[in-house]
Copies of this chain bind each other. A is one copy, B any other.
Amino acid sequence: MPDFLFLSTDAMSPKITVELLRQLRQAMKNSKYITEPIQAYIIPSGDAHQSEYIAPCDCRREFICGFNGSAGTAIVTEQHAALWTDGRYFLQASQQMDNNWTLMKMGLKETPSQEDWLVSILPENSKVGVDPWIIAADQWKNMSKALSSAGHSLVAVQDNLIDTIWEDRPAPPSTKLITLGLKYTGLTWQDKVTALRGKMAERKISWFVVTALDEIAWLFNLRGSDIEYNPVFFAYAIIGISNIKLFVDSKRLLDPAVQEHLELDSPSKPELTIQCFPYESVYTELQAVCAALAPKEKMWICDKASCALTQVIPKSHRSVIPYTPLCLAKAVKNPTEIQAMKMAHIKDAVALCELFAWLEKEIPKGTVTEISVADKAEELRSQQRDFVGLSFPTISSVGPNGAIIHYRPLPETNRTLSLNEVYLIDSGAQYLDGTTDVTRTVHFGTPTDYEKECFTYVLKGHIAVSAAVFPNGTKGHLLDSFARAALWDSGLDYLHGTGHGVGCFLNVHEGPCGISYKTFADEPLEAGMIVSDEPGYYEDGSFGIRIENVVLVIPAKTKYNYRNRGSLTFEPLTLVPIQLKMINTDLLTQKEHDWVNDYHKKCRETIGAELERQGRKEALDWLIRETQPIV
């Protein structure tokens, strides 16, 4: 799945916000929350961990304005209310917000930035408030600078003002924790802490404040389900050279399995003793740690951490980093994780082979819809061992809906699958052993020549990345154009990146690597990293094509080895047939032709064996038919 978020399933009628805005404006003057009235209040869309997906209790921007897209910032002043979002969401935002709100279309020349807009409408010497927990430190800095230079000030409002008016706000989640053994993780959390401390010592760092939820989950070999699709749980950690402080709802630690896993009662070594604190006490505990720092001690914190936590650390002790060592360690999968990811992908392919075999039988009946396929896919996946849930909402789209890149079927858009239209399904799951994400584009009747031509260009791009050989140290963005060359040759393109990092029973989108023209600050690809390879083509109003595999970075054997740098390439983990009917084989080179046959041979052998083992005969027949070599 390309890396952007999704609509929720709410219908598209505007939310009535008159009363909410009145209440919020009162709160902005209420001395219970703030010492002096504020003239504007900023409502960003994130949570305290800058998560990509957020829990219902954190959907504050949606609550105040009605717009529920993934990206957007609301600002409310005494007279105005405005929402900034980008081109993907102009239509949706305008439908979901009532006329108390002004839509600020980001990316258009005439649209002012939040800073410029505030400066243009605020009375002199205004105070602008924001919750310091849900704004990242660098965003705070930029906004604060812009406001100060115009005579205003940005102030941290400790009580979130939305929460004060949100009567039925969902409680913060506190789901049961899952402990993961060595069989899945390859490394104990103790080993991971020790390795992390090694990296800290190398850079003379004595403390590290861990704020990203997937980093905490990975470090402690724990999972949760606080956020839909992402098996994470709300927590913070502060790791010292001889301390481990974990901040998490204490109820969660009553579970004996968790107690044992974390060795809460009988730590094996003193420096591996976990001190547990309530989630909320991270602020005061971090203050205490900082108060005891020796003059030259340094503390790591990620640049995506909240302003609130970042500012606790005195500047002289603060070392702000773009990617933490945990982010990097987590991205390079160890042999156990790789094996587990392979297993998860085999099971996922079994479910998809079954799905496609079922679709071939069912579609002619005329009762299969985008939503029913998504449901069927989930049902089939859930039959597989160690299934936990989906890794993102399934994109199931027929014909013109396929051209909406961030489509998700809703009852009012739901189309029926037929023999006449292209069908695109982008789906994935969480298993205890791994995370999957796969897109296939198929036709159940006879595709047009143009559909086949476009599909074949996308396939050529997919193969160009998958089969690319490149030196160690190459950043993923340097491979992005390989995926586009065949499309470009014919004047076509797609307006999203080509790939993103994929977690191992963790977030389906993770840093610090990817394959996209949009970034330059990605980290180099390394053997063991796992990314998606998903070029596409979208013909507005007509059809969408995307071919996505999850691929593993592996060392490549090359004829020569310039300066002993070594080379890398990719191995597909996703093993689901690519529909031959959609390929115009005349457009393939011999090398591409061979790649397709090799890939299908591997699908047949690996998935065939598992289908056989599971006794899924129909799917096996389908697989064998769909993986015949092209000549």
Contact = CB atoms under 8 A, between A and B. Distances in A.
How many copies of this chain?
Answer: 2
Interface stretch (A75-83, A361-369, A482-490, A499-507): A482-490
A27 to B, nearest CB: 36
Contacts of A489: 469, 558
Contacts of A482: 481, 485
Q: List 6 tightest A-B contacts by C-beta distance, closest first.
A: A491-B558, A520-B520, A491-B560, A490-B559, A491-B561, A478-B481
A333 to B, nearest CB: 24
Interface string A245-256: 000000000000
A511 to B, nearest CB: 17
Nearest to A521: B520
B517 A488 contact: no
A28 B494 CA distance: 60
A268 interface: no
14 contacts: A468-B488, A469-B489, A469-B491, A471-B488, A478-B480, A478-B517, A481-B482, A490-B559, A490-B560, A491-B559, A491-B561, A492-B560, A492-B562, A589-B589
A146 to B, nearest CB: 14
Task: Place the interface of chain A in its size category.
Answer: 20 to 34
Contacts of A480: 478
Contacts of A484: 470
Contacts of A558: 489-491
Contacts of A565: 493
Interface of A: 468-471, 478-482, 484-485, 488-493, 517, 520, 558-562, 565, 567, 589
A488 B567 contact: yes
Nearest to A482: B481
A517 B475 CA distance: 10
A484 B482 CA distance: 11
A304 to B, nearest CB: 20
A458 to B, nearest CB: 13
A469 to B, nearest CB: 5
A520 to B, nearest CB: 4
A314 to B, nearest CB: 14
Nearest to A517: B478
A493 B481 contact: no
Contacts of A479: 481
Contacts of A478: 480-481, 517
Given A490-B558, A492-B560, A492-B562, 5 more contacts: A468-B485, A471-B491, A478-B481, A481-B481, A490-B559
Contacts of A468: 485, 488
Contacts of A567: 488, 491
Nearest to A540: B563
A589 B517 CA distance: 27
- Of the listed residues A469, A488, A517, the one surrounded by the most CB atoms of chain B closer than 10 A to its CB is A488
